[in-house]
Chains A and B, each alone.
Chain A
Amino acid sequence: MTAYDYFSIAHGALATISISLAAIVLGVPLGLGLALVRWSRLPVFNQFATGYVSVIRTCPSVTLALLIFFALPEVGLSLDPVPAGILTLTLSTAAFNTEIWRNALMNFPRDQYEAALSFGMSRSVRFRRIVLPQIIRASLPALVNEMTLLIKSSPAVAVIGIVEITRAAIRVGARTYEPLPPFVFALVLYSLIVFLFVMTQRYVERRYAAGAAA
């Protein structure tokens, strides 16, 4: 492996991190929105959200990426690889995040909600002040878990031409006929990225614990 090979795989890590982060930033609130739709049982929208989650959960990321990249031009929507990749990962992670948020909403203590009602809080204040802070805390471990899974499923978007860590490693191996060294380096990079996410989660949890104690 040349110095450039290491650089190309590290450059792939940048792609992995940026498309994963974009999918997280879009997918976590989208999941929350869909979970609220399901929780409030909005007619029509509720069925749509249920259908969305069921369909996306059964669809492998690679298939979804191919569908978005190659089938959407048939109906006149031609996306470049990067937006198509972000869309794929966002749609996929949002479905799983919906279930995580929904779980927290279903377990939300009803007496607190009723107490807020009796204080005459408006719907939005109730949600922002009472519900949201607590469901975030309850969902955090599962959300971070889903984020690490997302990072590891991101090689799926390589099929539409995004060069992330795994694809960059495959390219090096295909040229040198020595696949082991680039894959070991790729593994090190994945470990580092996941480690950073888990560290951030621990930090946030400690902050919450300190806040609760104060």
Chain B
Amino acid sequence: MLERISFRFNRRALLRALPIVAVSAVLVAGILANGLSAAHADGVADIKKRGKMMVATEDDFKPFEFMEDGVSKGYDNDLLAEVKKSLPFGVEQQVIPWAGILPGVTTGKYDIAVTAVLVTAARKPTFTFSSPVAQSTTFFATKAGSSIKKAADLEGKTVGAQAGSAMLADLKAFDASLKAKGGKGLAKIVEYPSNPEAYQDCALGRVDAVVNTEINLRSLVKEKAGVFALGEGIAKPVYIAWAMKKGNTDLAKLIDAAIIAAKKSGKMAELQMKWFGTSFKEMPDDVN
């Protein structure tokens, strides 16, 4: 077609351009390969060269971290301010959503995730964790004035949890342990897309109890004191720590020293009381 022909590129001209294309391709490949080795430099040495440690923090996980009047606040931020005092380099903090935090650490965009990262078996091969900063135990809560007080009282009751959560897995394990002891276990486990729905149904009496972490449920019970009551733990505690790329032990040593110092001085317990209304006294120094 006429209009196409007039726009068509001369094939011979293209052949003449081929050596130029080939040379630039080799150059680009060289630059990329060079960058590849630079992006995988050593932890602390790299930070010192840059002059600052890159930190990623979440923005919507109250009370650990949340935004107020444009400033990142919460437990982790207070603790980071304490840790910063003993670091030999500056800190640059970026506030990004949870979905970007762990990928940012594994790809080397950030040196450390200063946010509530649960230390799980699945994450251990990928991350080096700092000394734990908090602990999370799966608790249950009931409607205020309920007859369910102890974990054993849940026998034959209906309990709600968030679908896909670690707390739901804990609840299922708890159910199995009730049955293993010869009981009849829970009557039913109801799964919800998110926690507020589970709370709502508990307040309405559709489920007898809900499970979530102790910290979240304390915050709920504090906010809506007449509606809910806190129960007790149904699983072993899981630790919450800051995450670094696996093998970044130089940095982990610096961070751990500062966290352990805050723990010994009582500063950490003070911050935990301030943000969680409780403090965790028996956490190990190393959870890796």
> Which residues in window 88-136 of A have CB below 8 A to B?
108, 110, 113-114, 117, 123
| Contact status A113-B223, CB under 8 Å | no
| Contact status B59-A41, CB under 8 Å | no
Give the CA-CA distance A172 to B67 in the complex, in Å. Answer: 7
Q: Is the interface of A mostly helix, strand, loop or mixed?
A: helix
The stretch of A53-61, A72-80, A140-148, A188-196 in contact with B is: A72-80
Give the residue name and chain of the B residue nearest to A44 (CB).
B14
User: Known contacts being A43-B14, A71-B107, is A161 close to B32, with CB within 8 Å?
Assistant: no
| Contact status B107-A70, CB under 8 Å | yes
Is A39 interfacial (CB-CB < 8 Å)? yes
Chain A contacts for B223, CB-based, 8 A: 177
* Contact string against A for B residues 1-30, beta-carbon threshold 8 Å, 1 for contact and 0 otherwise: 111101111010010000000000000000
* Contact string against A for B residues 100-117, beta-carbon threshold 8 Å, 1 for contact and 0 otherwise: 100110011100000000
| Contact status A161-B94, CB under 8 Å | yes
Give the residue name and chain of the B residue nearest to A161 (CB).
B96
User: Known contacts being A40-B8, A69-B100, is A4 close to B69, with CB within 8 Å?
Assistant: yes
Is B31 interfacial (CB-CB < 8 Å)? yes
Number of A-B contacts (CB under 8 A): 105
Q: Give chain A's interface residue range (CB within 8 Å of chain B).
A: 35 or more
Q: Pick the residue among A40, A76, A110 that contacts B38 (CB under 8 A).
A: A76
Is A139 interfacial (CB-CB < 8 Å)? no
Chain B contacts for A174, CB-based, 8 A: 59-62, 66-67
Chain B: interface residue total (CB-CB under 8 A): 38
Q: Pick the residue among B4, B39, B95, B104 that contacts A74 (CB under 8 A).
A: B39
Is A158 interfacial (CB-CB < 8 Å)? yes
Is B70 interfacial (CB-CB < 8 Å)? yes
| Contact status A159-B70, CB under 8 Å | no
**Minimal beta-carbon separation of B16 from chain A (angstroms):** 14
| Contact status A40-B59, CB under 8 Å | no
**Minimal beta-carbon separation of B99 from chain A (angstroms):** 5
| Contact status A159-B62, CB under 8 Å | no
29 residue pairs A–B, Cβ–Cβ below 8 Å:
A36-B7, A39-B7, A40-B7, A41-B8, A44-B14, A45-B9, A69-B100, A70-B107, A73-B108, A74-B39, A74-B108, A75-B36, A75-B39, A76-B34, A76-B38, A77-B35, A110-B3, A113-B3, A114-B2, A123-B7, A159-B100, A160-B100, A161-B95, A161-B96, A161-B100, A173-B60, A174-B62, A175-B60, A175-B62
The 10 closest A-B pairs by CB, nearest first: A76-B35, A40-B7, A174-B60, A161-B96, A171-B67, A70-B107, A42-B9, A75-B32, A175-B66, A4-B69
